[in-house]
Structure 1
Amino acid sequence: MSPSTEPRRRRTGSTVRLLLTHVVLILIPVLLLGLGLSLGIRGTAQSRGLDEARTEALLVAQTAVAPQLDGQPLSKGLSARERTAMTRLVTRAVTDGRLLRLRLRDEHGAVVFSQDPKAKGKGKGPAYGDDDDEIVAAAHGDVVAQLTHLNADPGDSGPVGPAAVEVYLPLTVGTSAKQIGVLEAYLPYAPIQADVRASLHVLYRDLALGLAGLSVMLFVITLSVSRRLRRELAANEWMARHDALTGLPNRALFVQRVEEAAGWAARTGRPVVVAMMDLDHFKDLNDTLGHSRGDELLGIIASRLRERLRRSDTVSRLGGDEFGLVLRSPRDPLAELAELAAVVASEAQVGGLPLSVAPSVGYLTLSDDRLSAETVMQRAEVAMYAAKGDHTVVAEYSPALEHFVAADMELIAELPHALSNGDLVLHYQPQIAAASGEVVAAEALVRWDHPVHGLLAPGRFLPMAEQTDLIERLTAWVLGAALADAARLASLGRPIPIAVNVSARSVVREDFAGQVMAALEAAAVPAAQLVVEVTETALLTSPERARLVLEQLDSAGVHVSIDDFGQGQTSLGYLADLPIAELKIDRGFVTGMATDRVRTAIVESVVDLGHNLGMRVVAEGVETEEDLAAVRDLGCDLAQGYHIARPMPLQALVELLVPTAIRS
């Protein structure tokens, strides 16, 4: 979005003032060097004139003003008699040309008397300002004289008058010289000025040619310096409002853009969308591949967003892996943001590696400017966390989300205690051979037996846990508990493979394969009875590191399954190179496929792909008998879903698998 005309005008004026200041700072030393002699004479003459002015002002104070006063501090004001006497005295002196103006001030600098009734005077009030040094000095006993013009001070009324010597001195009375205030006198400078001009007339003539030459030289120097200064000022201003890595507006500028867009919405009646975008698992990518590659990926994402937005829109990097968006008058906010999210999630080549990160986006639609920018951003962030927790990619803010996000944060705070206290349990969803209907495997699904909220599904706490280091503790617990249950099934004569979901953070850890092998050994379970499920997104977080871990698991005999296949951006070439034993078709393609030709075609293609690559294919999300018949007809090896069986405790799985006689 282009900056407004007013800010540009302010910046231009500021630049001009800085350039003029720079020119003056250059001219002063040069002129001092060239006019040393004339300034010496001028200085001597002016000093003599200022001394004379001080002396005359002291005489006025002691012989004319002090006798008219009763000796009380001026802060108490003047009596009628004193004011009349002072008015007569000053009027006569001004008429005679000996004085231009006289004021009396109290010890705080406030004007007590002036022949100008409109005079306010600087320093009026309980304290001195930054420009009242001369009044402060006089209030402390010093005499200050300086050249000025009549009515040149900010508090004076009327047009600027002739040159004058402005004198500030302590006003004392009596033989004890008790100070009762400050006298401010303006004496005519014309006689002193005439003396100075006469002394310098000859020197000005001799120096004219030299100054002309210096002027040309200074013009060239100043022109060069001013150009460089303008460039530096522009660069500094840009850096203060933009992110150094991506070149996008930073948080400070984004806040301004949000405020401007909200005002625009209020004026035009057209909607504005403010969105927050966060990259899921970006920290894992940074930790495994290094910050340099993470920064490179951020740069690519920033370029993609910038290219897709209109000139009236804004994309900003707010910090880390968080971006802010302002969309003016979007046609369909949800669709446009989903499209931007897809652009961000598409694979990028970074250092020769194919990388992809999935974003979560939360947004708020504005129709006026009643909310502050910080409130708008906070609400969009709440929606973003809701999208992250629900895996919906994009979510719109609603007040109800405030409660759920706060509740999720409370749950995450309680999760370490739940891990230590044994509040987590595993349920198992059976997987059947599609052709025969026999239960041949099961997927372990974690539940939280919360003392207040009851049995919580993984969707309530896993998404938030995946954003923290708690996910590693949780994965280790699930792995150990699932293998212990697998050992029990084996002891009952029904050893079946148990599938365990593994997070993106775990699958790229160098020691993860070793952790799995240690857990298998501790439970005395063969590696072939463990299936490690990873998502496509997890693989793309760090492809090379994930490949190494999967190869270690495969060589040990552990089966690897790609969960939710079809959701991510995995290239077929990359998939073929991985040691994968199983493809698990995403439930979004399976549920309802019996009446959907497009879904049926997709599932059929995945089945053919998996079989051609030597993989087992699992259909997840079989909700009806029609779904089961469809996946069976297409040749899926295994089927899983609510139509077959809901997730159940271990004991229920044992009762399903093992005859009563053996169990007893």
Structure 2
Amino acid sequence: MSSKRFVQYYFNHRRTIQSFGAVLIALAMVTVTWVVWQTGGIKFVYSHSMYIPILAAGFIFGLPGGIIVALIAGIALGPWMPIDTATGEMQEPINWIYRTGYFLLIGGMSGLVADSLGRYIDYLRWLARHDVKTQLPNRKQLFEDIRGLTHSDKPMKSKQDKCLLIVVSIDNVKQLQGAFGFRVITEVISVFSATLKEHFKQAIHLYRTDSNQIVVLMKSPQNMIENDLKNVVSLLKSTVNFDTYSVYVSTHAGAVCIASHHEEPETYLQQGEIALAHAYAKQRDYAQFSSSLELTLQRNITLLGDLQEALRLNQLTMHYQPKIDLATNAVIGVEAVIRWRHPVYGDIAPDDFIPQAEQSTLILKVTEYVISRVMRQIADWQEQGLRIPIAINISSHDIMATGFVARLLAELERFDIDGEMIEVELTEGALVNDLAHTQLELLRLNQAKIMISVDDFGTGYSSLQYLHRLPIAGIKIDRSFIKNLPHDDGGRYIVDAAVALAKNMGIQTIAEGVETPSANAYLRKIGCDVVQGFYYTQALPADKFVAWYREFQPTKTH
């Protein structure tokens, strides 16, 4: 057995070893005393055998054990043990006192060594289970505690009681560290820990399981799970004081109930992180784990892996949804919408894979693929005598990527296409991310006569400063405000304001998601410029769009 395993075995079975050790040490002392007596007395060498139980006592029971056993051994071989049992000659007091002193020295030293070694090993064990900076238990301790809960024979006080695991993640780590250094995250977690402990008293256990992540473990009645989860999240919404600054910390949380059956502890943490990822993706404060979330996450991850292969094998196709000028009822352009027919999952909507791609650099390849297909489509339509501009969606990754605008302009030149045949749609978030860089890139697009529109207007940062600083030609009002027009008062007010703002600034308004005659009529009434949606048609493949376009063009009554 290696020294590491020996130490682990000792500390894992310390009480058992001490119980057996006490019996063996007592037997050893009795045996040595008996041997010394039977061999003729203290003058013979057998008395030195008493050092064995003394050393053993010090190592097993520490300083107190070594001292006590040394005293007992000194008395056992002391005043009642003759020098020579044959003659009955007794020891001088100085002899057995001196010997007892040696026993105490040996027992004390072995005990001190054992205690020092024990304290150091206890510290190493603590270090392996705690975060040094915050003093909070770590992931390993969490797993041990969960294992203790799930393997415990003690039932909950009530069948309605559940053990709730909540994973809380700090989202704006890079911004905080960039502004205040690495120490700020440790301080934030310490403040979070103190806040939660003060509120929940002894009913909560906290762990730091990652550099920007803490885990809350607490018992909660079945009917209080949602309330306790909300309390944890709300307590962490307040700002944190760091040095002389008041710091805003963005957090999301995922929760899972720990069942009584013997599940692996790692599984519960994984499930909590799945719920956390869902909350982050949906921009919710928190989410609870369910098996459907796990399947969705697994599907999304595998989709990203399959997406690269789909790009290589041309499994992605482009559909085109027309944009209708409400003043003339003419098709003035189309929006390119990507479609994916997966060999296993079938048709996959863009909302099921584009958001995941946008969280990685894979979106750059997707956009490159879209631009290439769109350029070819414009060229094909021009050969057919159709001059139809196409709008493409651009992410923040695209606009920030080095050389993106240059590659787009190069594609226009390669296919001999005018810039006015392309419209670029960007979300508000993409615009305000490094505004200075974005302004320069969009000016280059504008100089090439490419139209620039703000997509999903009103759902993002709701910052209007870029509308007059950037060469924006249009705003695209999000479908969530359009779908219930004109009966939804809230949506109507926002749409009215957006149209009025655009008119005052001399830019175009496009409404997406128009599905009913009443919504279409209302948008025409308030002066919206362009609409698109199922009221006219869904996005169509290129050949079907051409057929629809030729049939629609003469129609003037919508």
TM range (shorter): 0.5 to 0.7
Q: Distance in 2 between matches of 1:566 and 1:338?
A: 26
Q: Give deviations 1:476-519, integer Å, cap 9, x for gaps.
A: 00111112212223333332321111122112123221121112
Q: How does 1:386-405 map to 2 (within 5 A)?
A: 386-387=278-279, 395-405=287-297
Structure 1 residues 517, 90: CA separation in 2 closer, same or farther (over 3 Å shift)?
same
Correspondence for 2:429 among 524, 527, 537:
537
Q: Quick check: 1:441–1:498 contact (8 Å CA) kept in 2?
A: yes
Correspondence for 1:191 among 94, 107, 114:
94
Q: How does 1:31-180 map to 2 (within 5 A)?
A: 90-92=36-38, 152=69, 160-162=72-74
1:364 maps to 256
Q: Give deviations 1:506-544, integer Å, cap 9, x for gaps.
A: 121232211211122222221122121222233344333
Q: Is 1:655 aligned with 2:547?
A: yes
RMSD of aligned residue pairs (Cα, Å): 5.2
1:633 maps to 525
Structure 1 residues 102, 458: CA separation in 2 closer, same or farther (over 3 Å shift)?
same
Q: Taking every aligned residue pair, what percent have the same amino acid on both sides? A: 25
Q: Is 1:470 aligned with 2:373?
A: no
Q: Distance in 1 between matches of 2:552 and 2:481?
A: 38
Q: Distance in 2 between matches of 1:294 and 1:582?
A: 39
Q: Distance in 2 between matches of 1:415 and 1:553?
A: 28
Please report how far the alpha carbon of residue 570 of structure 1 lies from its aligned counterpart in structure 2 after TM superposition: 3.8
2:267 maps to 375
Q: Give deviations 1:35-68, integer Å, cap 9, x for gaps.
A: xxxxxxxxxxxxxxxxxxxxxxxxxxxxxxxxxx
Q: How does 1:292-441 map to 2 (within 5 A)?
A: 292=178, 306=192, 310=196, 311-312=199-200, 319=210, 331-332=226-227, 362-366=254-258, 373-387=265-279, 395-441=287-333
Structure 1 unaligned regions, length at least 5: 1-84, 112-119, 124-128, 133-147, 154-158, 167-186, 198-232, 347-355
1:564 maps to 456
Structure 1 residues 322, 430: CA separation in 2 closer, same or farther (over 3 Å shift)?
farther
Structure 1 residues 407, 161: CA separation in 2 closer, same or farther (over 3 Å shift)?
same
Q: Quick check: 2:321–2:335 contact (8 Å CA) kept in 1?
A: yes
Structure 1 residues 323, 604: CA separation in 2 closer, same or farther (over 3 Å shift)?
farther
Q: Distance in 1 between matches of 2:183 and 2:498?
A: 30
- Aligned partner letter, 1:152: V
Q: Quick check: 1:330–1:336 contact (8 Å CA) kept in 2?
A: no
2:131 maps to 241
Q: Quick check: 2:358–2:395 contact (8 Å CA) kept in 1?
A: yes
Q: Tell me which structure has the larger Cα radius of gyration.
A: 1
Q: Distance in 1 between matches of 2:390 and 2:407?
A: 17
Q: Distance in 1 between matches of 2:518 and 2:233?
A: 32
SS at match of 2:490: helix
Q: Quick check: 1:265–1:271 contact (8 Å CA) kept in 2?
A: no
Q: Quick check: 1:412–1:465 contact (8 Å CA) kept in 2?
A: yes
Q: Quick check: 2:74–2:97 contact (8 Å CA) kept in 1?
A: no
Q: Distance in 2 between matches of 1:535 and 1:301?
A: 34
Q: Is 1:495 aligned with 2:387?
A: yes
- Aligned partner letter, 2:273: E
Q: Distance in 2 between matches of 1:86 and 1:543?
A: 87
Q: Quick check: 1:266–1:368 contact (8 Å CA) kept in 2?
A: no
Please report how far the alpha carbon of residue 646 of structure 1 lies from its aligned counterpart in structure 2 after TM superposition: 0.8
Q: Distance in 1 between matches of 2:187 and 2:482?
A: 32
Alignment: residue pair count: 465
Q: Is 1:508 aligned with 2:508?
A: no
Q: Quick check: 2:431–2:438 contact (8 Å CA) kept in 1?
A: yes
- Aligned partner letter, 1:611: K
Correspondence for 1:597 among 471, 489, 497:
489
Structure 1 residues 487, 597: CA separation in 2 closer, same or farther (over 3 Å shift)?
same
Q: Distance in 1 between matches of 2:553 and 2:330?
A: 19
SS at match of 2:69: coil
Q: Quick check: 1:98–1:188 contact (8 Å CA) kept in 2?
A: no
Please report how far the alpha carbon of residue 599 of structure 1 lies from its aligned counterpart in structure 2 after TM superposition: 1.4
Q: Distance in 1 between matches of 2:331 and 2:149?
A: 58
Q: Is 1:580 aligned with 2:441?
A: no
Q: Distance in 2 between matches of 1:304 and 1:429?
A: 52
Please report how far the alpha carbon of residue 645 of structure 1 lies from its aligned counterpart in structure 2 after TM superposition: 1.4
Structure 1 residues 196, 368: CA separation in 2 closer, same or farther (over 3 Å shift)?
closer
Please report how far the alpha carbon of residue 250 of structure 1 lies from its aligned counterpart in structure 2 after TM superposition: 6.3
Q: Give deviations 1:596-621, integer Å, cap 9, x for gaps.
A: 11111111112222222332111122
Q: Distance in 1 between matches of 2:501 and 2:186?
A: 31
1:52 maps to none
Q: Give deviations 1:140-168, integer Å, cap 9, x for gaps.
A: xxxxxxxx989727xxxxx73426899xx
SS at match of 2:417: coil
Please report how far the alpha carbon of residue 339 of structure 1 lies from its aligned counterpart in structure 2 after TM superposition: 7.3
Q: Give deviations 1:79-125, integer Å, cap 9, x for gaps.
A: xxxxxx9998754568x6657986989xxx9x9xxxxxxxx9988xx
Q: Quick check: 1:499–1:530 contact (8 Å CA) kept in 2?
A: yes
- With the length of structure 1 as denominator, give the TM-score of the two structures: 0.57
The range that moved more, 647-656 or 635-644, is 635-644
- Aligned partner letter, 1:567: T
2:8 maps to none
Q: Distance in 1 between matches of 2:478 and 2:374?
A: 23
Q: Distance in 1 between matches of 2:251 and 2:414?
A: 38
Correspondence for 1:526 among 418, 424, 427:
418
Q: Quick check: 1:150–1:164 contact (8 Å CA) kept in 2?
A: no
- Aligned partner letter, 1:191: I
Q: Distance in 2 between matches of 1:579 and 1:549?
A: 10
SS at match of 1:579: coil
Q: Distance in 2 between matches of 1:623 and 1:304?
A: 51
Please report how far the alpha carbon of residue 408 of structure 1 lies from its aligned counterpart in structure 2 after TM superposition: 2.3
Please report how far the alpha carbon of residue 322 of structure 1 lies from its aligned counterpart in structure 2 after TM superposition: 6.0
Correspondence for 1:445 among 313, 337, 347:
337
Q: Is 1:622 aligned with 2:476?
A: no
Structure 2 unaligned regions, length at least 5: 1-30, 79-89, 101-122, 240-247
Q: Quick check: 1:99–1:188 contact (8 Å CA) kept in 2?
A: no
Q: Distance in 1 between matches of 2:352 and 2:385?
A: 35
Please report how far the alpha carbon of residue 335 of structure 1 lies from its aligned counterpart in structure 2 after TM superposition: 6.6
